[in-house]
């Protein structure tokens, strides 16, 4: 049985604990929760950017007007295409590079270090870089293809919607492959060698060892890289802002770009907030799918 003294000590500790936690809670509420709740409230109003306190409740009409607009669905489609292609290619290339480094060919340390460079370049700088590379009249891409004899005269690259989207994807891949490669390479380095060796003794060939042993063991690392990159790719904005400004003919307007236009260029804070929440729903759904597909308990630890 507890004495009254212990209880008061316990209460004291709780009180102290709460006191110590309070600043952190205030910060988290102020920086994370409050803006989310505020945005949620805004998304049901027609608040203009010029007077950003919630007003004029309009119910679901912001959401409904987007769900009914072709511009919204085209942007969603483009964003999905961007995400699937860029993350897919990044994963394959990243895995290949990770395996290559892991095999420690001559110069692997140099390779691993230089791999950081594209990732270390800020996205805005990366965008400016590729904008120059793709330039029709003095870009490096034209220069390269021309001097290799692949094209007979300089051509414009960013003037067709679908091609522009693909070229923006290439720029994004160049930037993000290193991230996936480094995560997977780090994961590879921690895998227990015994399993691999045992399988080799049992006569498994290199492909079988990769497919049946290493890949399943890499699954948690792949999941982490995929979730981070998918969410990032789904919210892609800056690289498009720099390379194409959403053009040509809205061909590279992704859902985040649409949100930017809606909120800041057109000044519709309410519908911009609704778009942000739609993006959140989509990313949440994708994260859940990943967890279902890849996060199997038996491969943990």
Task: Give the footprint of other proteins on this chain (CB under 8 A).
Answer: 12, 15-16, 19, 48-52, 135-138, 153-161, 164, 244-251, 261, 264-267
Candidates 88, 252, 297; CA nearest to 162 is 252
Nearest distance in Å: CB 33, other proteins? 19
Nearest distance in Å: CB 39, other proteins? 14
Nearest distance in Å: CB 139, other proteins? 9
Q: Which of 132/295 has CB closer to other proteins?
A: 132
Nearest distance in Å: CB 160, other proteins? 6
Q: Are 241 and 127 in contact (CB under 8 A)?
A: yes
d(CA 231, CA 290): 11
Q: Determine the angle formed by the axes of helices 70-102 and 161-190, rounding to 10 degrees.
A: 40
Nearest distance in Å: CB 40, other proteins? 18
Q: Which of 227/240 has CB closer to other proteins?
A: 240
Candidates 237, 215, 201, 224; CA nearest to 75 is 237
> In degrees to the nearest 10, what's the CA dihedral of 151, 87, 239, 187?
-110
Nearest distance in Å: CB 5, other proteins? 15
Distances, alpha carbon 32 to alpha carbons 18, 24, 37, 80, in Å: 20, 11, 9, 27
d(CA 289, CA 137): 44
d(CA 129, CA 121): 10
253: its two tokens: 């307007």
């Amino acid at each position: 049985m507890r004495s009254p003294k212990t209880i008061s000590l316990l209460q004291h500790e709780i009180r102290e604990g709460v006191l110590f936690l309070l600043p952190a809670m205030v910060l988290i509420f102020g920086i994370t929760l409050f803006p989310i709740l505020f945005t949620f409230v805004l998304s049901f109003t027609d608040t203009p950017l010029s007077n950003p306190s919630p007003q004029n409740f309009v119910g679901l009409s912001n959401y409904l007007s987007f769900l009914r607009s072709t511009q919204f669905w085209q942007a969603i489609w483009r964003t999905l295409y961007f995400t699937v292609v860029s993350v897919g290619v990044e994963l394959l290339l990243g895995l290949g590079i990770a395996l290559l480094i892991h095999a420690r060919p001559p110069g692997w340390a140099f390779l691993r270090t230089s791999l950081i460079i594209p990732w270390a370049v800020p996205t805005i700088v990366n965008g400016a870089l590729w904008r120059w590379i793709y330039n029709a009249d003095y870009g490096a891409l034209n220069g390269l293809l021309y001097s290799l004899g692949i094209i007979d005269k300089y051509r414009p690259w960013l003037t067709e919607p679908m091609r522009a989207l693909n070229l923006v994807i290439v720029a994004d891949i160049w930037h993000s492959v290193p991230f996936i490669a480094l995560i997977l390479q780090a994961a590879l380095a921690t895998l227990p060698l015994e399993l691999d060796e045992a399988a080799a003794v049992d006569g498994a060939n290199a492909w079988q060892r990769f497919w049946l042993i290493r890949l399943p063991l890499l699954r948690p690392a792949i999941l982490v890289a995929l979730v981070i990159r998918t969410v990032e790719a789904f919210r892609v904005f800056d690289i498009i802002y720099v390379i194409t400004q959403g053009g040509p003919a809205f061909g590279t307007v992704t859902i985040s770009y649409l949100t930017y236009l809606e909120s800041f260029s057109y000044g519709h804070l309410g519908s911009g907030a609704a778009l942000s929440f739609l993006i959140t729903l989509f990313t949440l759904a994708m994260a859940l799918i990943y967890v279902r597909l890849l996060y199997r308990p038996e491969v943990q630890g």
